[in-house]
Each structure stands twice: as C-alpha cells, then as structure tokens.
Amino acid sequence: MNTPQKQSALGGIENSFRRHRRTRMTAALRSMVRETELSKNDFIYPLFVVPGNKVKKEVSSMPGVFQMSIDETVRECVEVRNLGIPAIILFGIPEHKDEVGSGAYDPNGIIQQVVRAIKKEIPELVVITDVCLCEYTSHGHCGIVKGDEIVNDISIQLLAKEALTHAQAGADIIAPSDMFDGRVKAIRTILDANDFQNIPIMSYAAKYASGFYGPFREAAESTPQFGDRRSHQMDPANSDEALREVQTDIEEGADIVMVKPALSYLDVIRRVKDTFHMPTAAYNVSGEYSMVKAAFKLGWIDEQRVMMEILTSIKRAGADLILTYHAKEAAKLL
C-alpha cells in the first residue's frame, strides 16, 4: 500500500499521484481490466432480398452490401451461420409496389418466401423480419397516405397483418420499424390470437428521423416520393421523449427495445438501458457504415480499427445487441 517516497529532483511528488498507466503496460494487463468485450453473439446482420434468381447486386453507397435473390440469400445465411453470427434481419423489395403496400402482407410475398427457404436450410439461424410498409408502397411511406397525412390507425392494422404472415412463414422475431403509435399492441394481439405467444417483438422503439438512413433507402428502394418521415420518427433533439416511446413499447409487449441510429444516440442507448433494464438493441445504420467505407477508400482511416472501436462504443453505451452491416467483417476478427 504505502510506497516509500523517494527524494528526487521532483521533490518527492512522483509517487503521490495515481498511476493509471500501470494496468495499460502490457496487452495481457489491458485485456484483464477490459470492461467491454464484443462478441459475435451480439450481432444481427441485415440482408436485402429482391425478386429473381442468382441476383447479387452491390449497393453502390454501401460497399460489401448486396441486394440478393432468395437463392443467394440462403447461401449468404449459411456463410453468416458459419461465421458464428446468430441472427439476421430481413428487408424485402417486392416485385410490385402499390398504394397500400400489398406485397408486405401477401402470404407469398418476398419475405414470406425467403423466411421459409432460410428456415428450411438453416433452422438454427435466428430470423428476424423488419415489419414496415415503406419498401412496399408506391409512395415510399411507411403506412397508408391520405392527402398529406400518413394515417396511423389503418396502417397499424396492415402492419399487424404483415407481422402475422411473417410469423406464419417461420420468423423467429418480429421487428416493427414504422414508429406509428399502437403498433406493438396491434402486433402482440394478432400474434397471440394466432398461437404465436412465444414469438418475441423487437421494436424499433426510439427511432429518429435521421439523415443517416440515406444509403439504406438505396438498398431497400424505399425513399419517400414526397415529404419525409418526421411526422412519425423522432426529432434528433429529443431524449426524454425516447424514454416515453420505449416505455410505451414495453407496456404494449415489446421484448427487446431498439435505439436507432446508434452513434449519434449513444446517450439515448445508455439512458434506455439504465432506465428500463431491458434487452436493448442498437442499429448501426447504413450511413454510419458508409462513412467508414468512404473514409477508408480515401485512405483516411484504418477501417478495421475504426469499425471495432465503433462497435465497442455501442456495446459500452449499453447495447446488448447490435444490428450492423459490419457483422461479417467483425466476426472474422473476433
């Protein structure tokens, strides 16, 4: 305890301060005191499914991310499983879009088909389906549009229908991403009424109206044709409101709550985790991924190092689960 104080040119003060560096001197010591450890088990890998056969088309703003047909998606899922990643989340791009997003709740829609194909080949892979209408509507909005309003109550009935068809196809977790009010309750109710009491809901609970979704909208072909999503997604300036959103989703039956995006909202992740102690997910979104890829391409950053630093920061902030396009690359390093 008491280090004898040596007289020196410094007048004996060299031992009177705390030496934080002692536990940083070797790799072994650093790993012993490390507080946050990333694991492959934290990752959920997003996939974009398109109609056709043998389609594998790179998203230009997201190097390394592809739109894939069902056959290619199943192949990709085998690779994901072999890398030790436990879960994927699926986004579908339908053959036809219409005003009411029929493709979303068609029992034979693109997602319903791909879920059946994946569960047949790789039953142990946890298949999560994103529930929203934006990829399926001709106007690109997440629900039904009347005049210039995105109508809440009709939309949540359609989302519930969509969720049910996903569960019937074999989805393991349902993930509503729309941010309409009452959707978790509507989905929980329809799932329970159809004997899917054991299917968890991972709700995009605090989802912000964010500029970081830009590249995703190219990948999912879901850019709104007019207006924006600010009447349902949250204002980036708010964080108390995020707690109210999360609380409502938990009350309505959410089993896992998500904060999205991740990096500009690390404070929100921490507040959500500390307030509710729920399994908490964070979505490391498309724009966050693309920025890393772009800076690397320009030779400005060390890609792997920055990627691991970002993922660690999201976990350190309180996320138990991370949805990330980096999942495969990160899993290879872990």
14 or 241: CB nearest ligand PBG = 241
Residue 151, φ and ψ in degrees, nearest 5: -80, 125
Nearest residue to ligand PBG, by Cβ distance, number only: 216
Least Cβ distance, residue 285 to ligand PBG (angstroms): 4
280 or 286: CB nearest ligand PBG = 286
82: exposed, middle or buried (C-beta count within 10 Å: 0-12, 13-18, 19+)?
exposed
Residues 6+ apart with CB under 8 A from 289: 62, 65, 215, 324, 325, 326
180 or 216: CB nearest ligand PBG = 216
Least Cβ distance, residue 123 to ligand PBG (angstroms): 25
Contact status, residue 129 vs residue 171, Cβ threshold 8 Å: yes
User: If binding is defined by CB under 6 A, does position 180 make contact with ligand PBG?
Assistant: no
- Sequence letter at residue 326: H
Distance (Å, whole) CA 290 – CA 8: 54
196 or 216: CB nearest ligand PBG = 216
Largest CA distance in the chain: 82
Least Cβ distance, residue 82 to ligand PBG (angstroms): 24
**Token pair 């909202």 in the structure block, residue:** 265
Contact status, residue 202 vs residue 128, Cβ threshold 8 Å: yes
> Total binding residues for ligand PBG by CB under 6 A?
11
* Among 49, 213, 246, 293, interactor with ligand PBG by CB under 6 A: 213
User: If binding is defined by CB under 6 A, does position 272 make contact with ligand PBG?
Assistant: no
User: If binding is defined by CB under 6 A, does position 104 make contact with ligand PBG?
Assistant: no
User: If binding is defined by CB under 6 A, does position 177 make contact with ligand PBG?
Assistant: yes
Residues 6+ apart with CB under 8 A from 163: 129, 131, 174, 176, 187, 190, 191
User: If binding is defined by CB under 6 A, does position 49 make contact with ligand PBG?
Assistant: no
Q: Tell me the CA distances in angstroms from 222 to 66, 146, 204, one per residue in order.
A: 15, 18, 17
Residues found in the chain: 334
Least Cβ distance, residue 175 to ligand PBG (angstroms): 8
Report the 10 Å Cβ neighbour count for 258: 28
Distance (Å, whole) CA 168 – CA 195: 10
Least Cβ distance, residue 156 to ligand PBG (angstroms): 15
* Among 93, 285, 314, 327, interactor with ligand PBG by CB under 6 A: 285
55 or 263: CB nearest ligand PBG = 263
User: If binding is defined by CB under 6 A, does position 216 make contact with ligand PBG?
Assistant: yes
User: If binding is defined by CB under 6 A, does position 105 make contact with ligand PBG?
Assistant: no
Distance (Å, whole) CA 78 – CA 83: 9
- Sequence letter at residue 170: G
93 or 164: CB nearest ligand PBG = 93
Mark 117-156 with x for binding to ligand PBG (rule: CB under 6 A) and - for no binding: -------------x-x-x----------------------
Least Cβ distance, residue 216 to ligand PBG (angstroms): 3
Distance (Å, whole) CA 295 – CA 218: 20
Binding site for ligand PBG (CB under 6 A): 130, 132, 134, 177, 213, 216-217, 222, 229, 285-286
